[in-house]
A and B are shown apart, each in its own frame.
Chain A
Amino acid sequence: MLNRMLWCIKNMKGRILFLMMMVFTISFMNVYGVQRFPKPEFESGYVQPETLQPSARSAVLATMDVVVLAFALALVSWLVLKKRSRKGVFLTSVFSLAYFGFYRQGCVCSIGAIQNVTLALFDSSYVIPLAAITFFILPLIFTLFFGRTFCAGVCPFGAIQDLVSFRPQKIDPRLNAILGVIPYIYLGLAILYAATGTDFIICRYDPFVGIFRFSATFGMYIFAGTLLVSGIFIARPYCRYLCPYGVLLNWISRFSWLHITITPSNCIQCRLCEDSCPYDAIDMPLIGRNPENRAVTIRKLILICLLVPFFVVLGGWTGSRLHETLAGVNGKVRLAKELLEPLKFADQPETFEIAAYKSSGKPLSLVYAEASQVLRQFYTGSWILGCFIGLVFGIILASRLLTRYRTDYSPNKGACFSCTRCVDYCPVEKNGLKEIQP
């Protein structure tokens, strides 16, 4: 029998015969399968609501994503630091928008990975995907070596905002400083909510992911729309005034080993680059101002030493006062509130959570115990969040009090996105130093 089968497979006719036998066998198995439990049918015209989450990536594709990320980071770093090519950076950012944005549908992204990492640190039962760790760490490593090249050409959020940045305007430095606090608050809240297992708010309020997936709530489309409209006149508003990952990159970039410079050689103070940065990330030289005398500087330092701890404590105390409000986002706390104050919610339809609780048979005391545990976590977390925000305020105030003396136009290593726009304005870059020097 076996020989007969082998013979069949060896010649062409035999192969066809073998295939037919296989098809027949499979068909027979299918007929036998009719006896199984019938599958439910949906013929009523009922349409399943579209899910906003993309399906999970296979291991191979997830690995490919990491490889593409590493390659894109290396390419942009090379284009920024070695080639100093705006065109190259722009083209890479378009690729990143297409790949990480529209193809990968913006998930997992480095910005949202903050929450995965936080949750993994606080919840031992949470298994963080390797891709999430890599997407979180790789850009930070590259930033430590080469500045924020991730923002320049790899982040799809930056890329989509860059595409609409037609008429960027300068923002008043004071307003810029005030709005610049928002990412710190957002980062603190994102960590607090991830650490307590409440929610991934960065993902929930990700404005562009809906565009990448062509699927979002009406509110999120409006949010994305307002950001893109404001992005026409305020370059990269999300990156500058919201992005929590930008906070980490900002800190690390300040210590970067190599960082883009406006001029490849010595600055000739031509001032051509002065207005070139749409992100107001060029530090102007402070020539002509008299240095402060020692006594004034010491007084300022003493003031800073008093103010910063004051802001930290004030922030922490304020945060702790708000811990119940902050905890209101947590599902367990919200459920306990609704069960505790049924009259307050009487005019509203019964929530899905209440219905689920009723059918679970869980005792009320357990719900309250869980909620009070979450509240305790939020109390501690809100203290830390408040202290952090107070510290940020203190440092911003301190940085404005202290005067740093610079002689050249240089990119602010923290705020600079390494987009290389300023490079094109530098005459030294264009013509070579010798040609324009008298």
Chain B
Amino acid sequence: MKQKRVLIFALVCLLAGILFMAWDMFFSQPETSVNPYAYEIKALRASDTLLTRYTEVQQIKPVLSEIHAIATGRADRIYVAGEKGVEIYDRDGKLEAEFPIDESARCIQVDRNGLIYLGMQDHLEIYNKEGRRLKQWKTCGEESIITSVAVTDEDIFIADAGSKIVYRYDHSGNLLNRIGEKDPRKKIPGFVIPSPWFDIGIGHDGSLWVVNPGRHSFEKYTSDGELISSWGKATMSMEGFCGCCNPSHFTILSDGSFVTSEKGIERIKVYSPTGVFKCVVATPDSFNEGTKGLDLAVDSTDRILVLDPQRKQVRVFVVK
């Protein structure tokens, strides 16, 4: 009798196994429906709150239907460029002036004289503060996608993501030289730009800083195009940059520190002048998921101005 029970038990086990196979084959959800290799980006979005040393104090809501770029000028005026228009705000966010433009500006810069430099798709336009167009330069190239402009007293630098190069012009619009072309002899690695985010800026010593987004690094050049130094670390952790190409934008604080913004994992961070991670300005929680084009600017008091194109806001962050 006992033997019979044991046998029945064994048979039940066997049949259960066979039924499991049949159920799994015909009725269960296939394993491939869940991608075990799916990129777990949510875990990377988490951030240590102790690292965040800035707080958001103000939001400015431009009237433009789309906003693309931000810059600061004299008296901490805030310049916002976007869909066929430019708006100028005072330090407190009060609209002072606005003027229309023919196309959409992708980037903006303001010099010490108050001239406004707008980077269009493939060329540069220069306006005065009243909104009168003073100059319209010829196209940089057929494949040009101008993503950033930097201005010094002598030069105007234009970052072209389409041609993967930085152009140096004089103020008359004459091309002086091209910066960042791959040159193994000069140890210039060339710019790796998988997507149209390619920012440049002028350091306090007058040298040109260029983001090499595919390499997740910053490169410092002389105006003649000599590579001086570089810093940056490709890493998934907070200390570096990750994804295909980051950071997407940067600006420089009064002490020479870099403020960077990233896409993919939307965050804004501060690095020392030598590239050492210092702190977080805004964590991914502060932005809508998928936000791109977080352009940055700082004013004379080191307030960090973040252009949030998705929320259509200029968001102001200060040290806690």
Chain A interface residues toward B at CB < 8 A? 35, 37-46, 48-49, 167, 169, 171, 175, 179, 182, 201, 204-205, 207, 217, 219, 222-223, 226-227, 229-234, 237, 241-242, 325, 328-329, 331, 334, 348-349, 351-353, 355
Contacts and interface: CB of A to CB of B under 8 A. Distances in A.
Contacts of A205: 21, 24-25
B32 A352 contact: yes
A352 B10 contact: no
Contacts of B31: 217
Contact of B234 (A40, A44, A331): A40
Given A42-B236, A48-B37, A232-B10, A348 B26 contact: no
A241 B14 contact: yes
B36 A49 contact: yes
A1 to B, nearest CB: 26
B7 A169 contact: yes
A117 B32 CA distance: 25
Contacts of A43: 235-237
B6 A169 contact: yes
Contacts of B175: none
Interface residues of B, number: 41
Contacts of B25: 201, 204-205, 329
19 contacts: A41-B236, A43-B237, A46-B40, A49-B37, A169-B10, A179-B14, A204-B25, A205-B21, A205-B24, A217-B31, A223-B21, A229-B13, A230-B11, A230-B14, A237-B14, A241-B18, A331-B30, A348-B29, A349-B33
Contacts of A201: 25
B14 A226 contact: yes
Given A35-B189, A237-B14, 17 more contacts: A35-B184, A37-B214, A38-B216, A39-B234, A40-B234, A46-B40, A48-B37, A49-B37, A169-B3, A207-B17, A219-B20, A226-B17, A226-B20, A227-B17, A230-B14, A233-B9, A234-B7
A47 to B, nearest CB: 9
B20 A222 contact: yes
A219 B32 CA distance: 15
Which 5 pairs across A and B sit closest by C-beta, in order of nearness?
A: A233-B10, A230-B13, A351-B33, A230-B10, A49-B36
B21 to A, nearest CB: 5
B14 A44 contact: no
Contacts of B240: 41
Interface of B: 3, 6-7, 9-11, 13-14, 16-18, 20-21, 24-26, 29-37, 40, 43-44, 184, 187, 189, 192, 214-216, 234-237, 240, 242
Contacts of B192: 37
Contacts of B236: 41-44, 46
A201 B21 CA distance: 10
B22 to A, nearest CB: 10
A46 B43 CA distance: 8
A205 B19 CA distance: 12
A242 B6 CA distance: 21
Nearest to A193: B25
A171 to B, nearest CB: 7
Contacts of A167: 6
A334 B24 contact: no
A223 B20 contact: yes
Given A48-B37, A328-B26, A233 B215 contact: no
A222 B11 CA distance: 15
Contacts of A204: 25
A339 to B, nearest CB: 14
Contacts of A38: 215-216, 234
Contacts of A49: 36-37
A171 B8 CA distance: 10
Contact of A233 (B6, B20, B216, B234): B6
A38 B3 CA distance: 67
A212 to B, nearest CB: 17
A249 B189 CA distance: 63
Contacts of A179: 14
Contacts of A233: 6-7, 9-10
A227 B20 contact: no
Nearest to A355: B35
B160 to A, nearest CB: 21
Contacts of B35: 352, 355
Contacts of B34: 352
Given A44-B44, A46-B40, A348-B29, A234 B10 contact: yes
Nearest to B237: A43
Of A39, A44, A237, the most chain B CB neighbours within 10 A belong to A44
A227 B13 contact: yes
B26 A325 contact: yes
Contacts of B36: 49
A43 B241 CA distance: 12
Nearest to B214: A37
Given A37-B192, A223-B20, A352-B32, A45 B37 contact: no
B184 to A, nearest CB: 8
Contacts of B16: 226
B30 A334 contact: yes
A388 B203 CA distance: 80
A353 B29 CA distance: 12
A329 B184 CA distance: 54
A230 B6 CA distance: 9
B135 to A, nearest CB: 39
Contacts of A227: 13-14, 17
Contacts of A242: 18
A328 to B, nearest CB: 7
Contact of A44 (B17, B18, B20, B237): B237
A169 to B, nearest CB: 5
Nearest to B240: A41
Given A40-B234, A43-B237, A44-B237, A219 B10 contact: no
